[in-house]
Amino acid sequence: MWTIYSEDHRLHRPRYELMDGELVPVFEKPERADWVLERVKARGLGEIAAPRRHGLDAALRVHADHYVDYLAHAWRDWAALGRSHDIMPYCYPVRGMGQRRPTDPDARAGFYAMDSAAPIMAGSWQAIQSSLDCALSALERITEARERAAFAVCRPPGHHAGHDYLGGYCYLNNAAIAAQQLRDKGASRVVVLDVDYHHGNGTQQLFYARSDVLFVSIHGDPGVEYPFFAGHADETGVGEGLGYNLNFPLPHGTGFTQWHAALQAGCRAIERFGADALVVSLGVDTYQDDPISQFKLASPDYLRMGETIAALGLPTLFVMEGGYAVDEIGVNMVNVLEGFEGRA
Ligand code: SS9
Ligand code: ZN
């Protein structure tokens, strides 16, 4: 399968994030994409191509225009104050606050954020757009070149980003935008399957009231895991969307047997749904040695994961999300793709 990759991701390299009450170097770093690309090459997965520029129309189908405008101009407004450190919010509107859109740069940073884990720096916007271009160009391998599958090396990732907010290393929701693009290009039913260790709260939010896009997510129990405020099993959709949101929260320490049983249950729901196409939010932070996660998957398990996803028989776009055990993320990510292609 084709891999779509852009060097522009390097422009996004924020310095610090908060962990255990301490500022630590950001786990979501450029080396992640390097390891993935290296492994794609080493295994001869297929063609590697740069994305073409798509502009923002597709993004504006799921994100608020004022939010996208914030992403585009946040650094300019921040730097105009003479600041050179990454944009990091420190004041958030909570229950009962925050109806009015602020103009102050610090207020805007908090208004458009769910957490402090998605800093913005000078090159971020360029990288964010290129990351989305990777997803949309990979999607064209499926919708235009009529191929079965494609892989987008998206950095920064997207699944925590919602209609009008960033968070958890995510700015534009690449997978959700691709799913909407599939709908706009004629697919009647689309599934987003999120296998990242963390619940895809942004994707869930974007399709929560809709029955045309089924969201299935397998993740660390939000009772004890980021993003805490979404991803519980009783979140099943609302209105039209009731029954079209399926969460599988699993406890810390979950190994592949238990994880795979959830995937199979998810696959049965996907089959009942009768989808035309599948978008996979492909995070490999379920790995046993991931530095910020608590599942116990081993590298060969990712081959099985790919096989099970392939058995759905759907056109499939793989969009890179998380995975922070840098040395192994290439192996694990590409194992899913090779398992999918039956090369294992
Ligand atoms: C861990 C801090 C987690 C955000 C994680 C976002 C994952 C994106 N103590 N910070 S896939
Ligand atoms: Zn994650």
* Tens digit of each residue's pLDDT (9 = 90 or more) over 228-268: 999 999 999 999 999 999 999 999 999 999 999 999 999 99
The tokens for 246 are 């399926």
Distance CA 19, CA 117 (A): 9
Can you tell me which atom of ligand 1 is nearest the CA of 170? 8
Q: Name the nearest CA neighbour of 198 among 176, 171, 173, 230.
A: 230
Assess whether pLDDT exceeds 70 at residue 344.
Answer: no
Ligand nearest to the CA of 158: 1
Residue for token digits 């944009």?
Answer: 87
160 is catalytic: yes
Distance CA 257, CA 260 (A): 5
Confidence (pLDDT) at 241: 98
Q: Locate all alpha helices (DSSP H) within the chain, ordered by sequence.
A: 31-42, 57-60, 65-79, 105-111, 124-143, 174-184, 201-207, 256-273, 301-310, 326-340
Assess whether pLDDT exceeds 70 at residue 127.
Answer: yes
The tokens for 220 are 């660390």
**Cβ-proximal residues to 187 (8 Å cutoff; 6+ apart), any chain:** 275, 276, 277
Q: Is the pTM of this model over 0.75?
A: yes
Q: Name the nearest CA neighbour of 174 among 61, 273, 75.
A: 61
Assess whether pLDDT exceeds 80 at residue 213.
Answer: yes
Distance CA 147, CA 158 (A): 24
pLDDT digits (tens, 9 = 90+) for 283-342: 999 999 999 999 999 999 999 999 999 999 999 999 999 999 988 999 999 999 999 999
Distance CA 49, CA 5 (A): 6
The percentage of the chain sitting over the pLDDT mark of 70, rounded to a whole number, equals: 100
The percentage of the chain sitting over the pLDDT mark of 90, rounded to a whole number, equals: 98
Residue for token digits 């990454």?
Answer: 86
Beta-bridge mates of residue 167:
170
CA terminus-to-terminus distance, the chain? 14
81-114 exposure pattern, b = at least 16 Cβ within 10 A, e = fewer: eeeeebbbbeebeeeeeeeeeeeebbbbbbbbbb
The tokens for 84 are 């050179």
Average pLDDT, the chain: 98
Looking at ligand 1, which residue's alpha carbon is closest to its atom 7?
168
Q: Is 243 left (phi over 0), alpha (psi -120 to 50) or beta?
A: left
287-319 exposure pattern, b = at least 16 Cβ within 10 A, e = fewer: bbebebbbbbbeeebbbbbbbbbbebebbbbbb
φ, ψ of residue 41 to 5 degrees: the values are: -65, -50
Can you tell me which atom of ligand 1 is nearest the CA of 159? 11
Looking at ligand 1, which residue's alpha carbon is closest to its atom 4?
168
Residue 244 · residue 214 · CB < 8 Å: yes
Looking at ligand 1, which residue's alpha carbon is closest to its atom 11?
322
Distance CA 28, CA 294 (A): 17
Compute the radius of gyration of the chain from its Cα atoms: 18
Can you tell me which atom of ligand 1 is nearest the CA of 168? 6
Looking at ligand 1, which residue's alpha carbon is closest to its atom 6?
168
Assess whether pLDDT exceeds 70 at residue 123.
Answer: yes
Confidence (pLDDT) at 99: 81
Query: Ligand 1: residues within 6 Å at CB?
Result: 19, 117, 157, 160, 168-169, 196, 198, 226, 283, 285, 292, 321-322
pLDDT digits (tens, 9 = 90+) for 41-79: 999 999 999 999 999 999 999 999 999 999 999 999 999
Q: What DSSP designation does 215 have?
A: E
Look up residue 46 and give its amino acid: G
Q: Is 200 left (phi over 0), alpha (psi -120 to 50) or beta?
A: beta
Determine the distance separating the centroid of ligand 2 and the alpha carbon of 212, expressed in angstroms.
25
Comparison of pLDDT for 343 and 238, the residue scoring more: 238
Confidence (pLDDT) at 343: 84
Q: Which of 54, 159, 160, 199 is catalytic?
A: 160
